[in-house]
Amino acid sequence: MQKETARLIELDREHTLMSHISAVLGWDQETYMPSKAIQERASQLALFEGLAHQKAVNPEIGELLATLEAKHDLSPDEKAYIRKVRRDYDIETKLPEAFVTEYARSTSIAQVKWAEAKKDNDFKAFESHLEKIVGLSRELAGYLNPNARPYDVLLDLYEPGSSQESITAVFSTMKAYLVDILDKIRAKPQIEDKCLGRYVSSETQEQISLYFMKVLHFEMDRGRLDVSAHPFTTSLGADDIRITTRYVEDYFPSSLFSTIHESGHALYDMGIDPNPEFRGTKLAEAVSMAVHESQSRLWENIVGRSRAFWERNFLALSALLGEAGRDLDFESFIESVNRVSPSLIRTEADEVTYGLHIIARFELESALLDGNLRVADMPGAWGEKYKKLLGLEVPNDRVGCLQDVHWSIGYFGYFPSYALGNLYAAQFWAKLKEEVPDIEARIASGDTLSVLTWLRANVHCHGSRYMPGELVEKATGSALDPVWFEKYLREKYSSIYGF
């Protein structure tokens, strides 16, 4: 290893420690922090982001990068590492420190205001905060690339190489088959959701969540489960990966599948290990939000809602449910958790309509960032979009445009990752089945480790060694293709709904 690389790693590790400290503050804010502490926490985060930013823009990094980029005897991992550091350094150095501080403070406050506004179903109380965040997001895009459309700049932050145009292309293919499959399902008799209305206490649901985290090989000494308004996964360290869930006491599948989803994220983070020399550096970070999401959705939907998985695990679930699960049979459970029905809440949506929720957000945030939609008009625009895409009336903002935390924390451009994640997941799964042909039989016998092992070897272990496009090619032999998701959906749902 070059001595400049070693020095770069040293500086980078300090920055990673800072990010993890910031994650501790964020995690605490979402889980346990007393309500009146919010202003001080915002000040703490603002101060801290400023300090982290100072470390990230250290000119020594720029000098080391320039020296290393001129060399011709770098190892492949050094090359990959330098590419990643360069990308992040360019992003950081373009942002003024005062902006970074202001951004951290404003998103911290807006997130709390969002939670209150959602609780009170009061969009007006959130409006000025959202306006502030939209303005800051546009400002951020302007710093990074003043010549590009702001939304394109933000999309590229989460999925390197993507743009509104490239995503529109993929989404229009996906939209066509989602609508077709949905039409076929609608022509068949609807499944009754037999999980609905069974009272299961938060305590019992917590036990269920913890049980399935263990089944999926979540390492409990490297992470934990807590409760927050919106489930999330966060890294407070390479050995400290925490997930959260929320308990809906008359619908236990909500926490069950959100826990499996977040566990999928956590398993990715727990499995990143590109090269011991690069531990605690940017090479040991996830490659993109969409690949991250492919992991959560593969575990939640492709494995977690499969017949094979429940063949082995349904008895344990029944036992944990106790009286509430007494008259819930295996077939009804499988059907219920794979029921397809247009609904208002993205996080509760089925696999078929989920993509339509994302398309709605993609189009709305694009309009917001382009200045074609005023923040004040969001509730109305949201209603129209849901009417058009999902055929639903939106009765209030709590189940409408206030349902997601993302915009309050400035995550414009993040939503498309969820749908891209489904596409990646289906493509990984198709390759895994090709290489491990008896994978479903293995899962049915209780072995989910075979799935994890394949993902560790082909996705997790690489960290940021490849660009997302390179990774999917390396892992599956071809570029991202929405056809795999279509195949997966048609096969599964033609069987469930009998079309």
Pairing of strands 233-237, 240-245: antiparallel
x/- letters, 204..243, toward a copy of itself (CB under 8 A): ---------------xxxxxx-x---------xxxxx-x-
Closest approach of a copy of itself to the CB of residue 496, in Å: 38
The least CB distance from residue 33 to a copy of itself, in Å, is 7
Q: Which of 356, 212, 305, 248 is nearest to 495 (CA)?
A: 305
Q: Which helix (H) or strand (E) holds 116?
A: helix 97-120
In the complex, minimum distance from the CB of residue 205 to a copy of itself, in angstroms, rounded to a whole number: 16
Among 1, 2, 7, 43, binds a copy of itself (CB under 8 A): 43
In the complex, minimum distance from the CB of residue 40 to a copy of itself, in angstroms, rounded to a whole number = 4
Select from 11, 24, 367, 483 the one that contacts a copy of itself (CB under 8 A): 24
What is the distance, to the nearest Å, from the Cα of residue 364 to the centroid of all Cα atoms in its chain? 19
Structure tokens at 407: 């915009």
Phi, psi of 478, rounded to the nearest 5 degrees: -150, 165
1, 2, 11, 44: which one binds a copy of itself (CB under 8 A): 44
Comparison of 111 and 164: residue with beta carbon closer to a copy of itself:
111
Nearer to a copy of itself, 120 or 127 (CB): 120
> d(Cα 27, Cα 38) in Å, to the nearest integer?
13
Judged by beta carbon, residue 127 or residue 219, the one nearer a copy of itself is 219
How far apart CA 335 and CA 307 sit, in angstroms, is: 9
Burial degree of 380 (CB within 10 A; 0-12, 13-18, 19+): middle
Q: How many amino acids of this chain bind a copy of itself (CB under 8 A)?
A: 35
CB count in 10 Å sphere of residue 329: 12
d(CA 454, CA 281): 24
Pick the closer one to a copy of itself by CB: 131 or 240: 240
Q: Which of 6, 10, 37, 474 binds a copy of itself (CB under 8 A)?
A: 37
Spot the catalytic one: 4, 49, 262, 486: 262
Choices 37-45, 145-153, 377-385, 460-468; region in contact with a copy of itself by CB under 8 A: 37-45
34 binds a copy of itself (CB under 8 A): yes
Both tokens assigned to 432: 């895994």
Range 285-288 contact pairs with CB under 8 angstroms and sequence separation of 24 or more = 285/84, 285/463, 285/464, 286/463, 286/464, 287/462, 287/463, 287/464, 287/465, 287/466, 287/467, 287/468, 287/471, 288/158, 288/159, 288/160, 288/417, 288/468
User: In degrees rounded to 5, what are phi and psi of residue 243?
Assistant: -120, 160
Give yes or no: 348 in active site: no
Task: Give the nearer residue to a copy of itself in terms of CB position, either 131 or 226.
Answer: 226
* Shortest distance, position 44 Cβ to a copy of itself, whole Å: 5
User: Is residue 276 near a copy of itself by the rule CB under 8 A?
Assistant: no
Cβ proximity to a copy of itself: between 49 and 78 the closer is: 49
Q: Tell me: does residue 48 bind a copy of itself (CB under 8 A).
A: yes
The interface with a copy of itself within residues 241-260 (CB under 8 A) comprises 242
| Strands of 240-245's sheet in order across | 223-227, 240-245, 233-237
Q: Of the ranges 40-48, 292-300, 410-418, 481-489, which one interacts with a copy of itself (CB under 8 A)? A: 40-48
Looking at residues 427 to 456 of the shown chain, list those that interact with a copy of itself (rule: CB under 8 A).
none
**How many angstroms separate the first and last alpha carbons of the chain?**
58
Catalytic center residues: 262
Footprint of a copy of itself (CB under 8 A): 14, 17-18, 20-21, 24-25, 28, 32-37, 39-41, 43-44, 47-48, 51, 219-224, 226, 236-240, 242
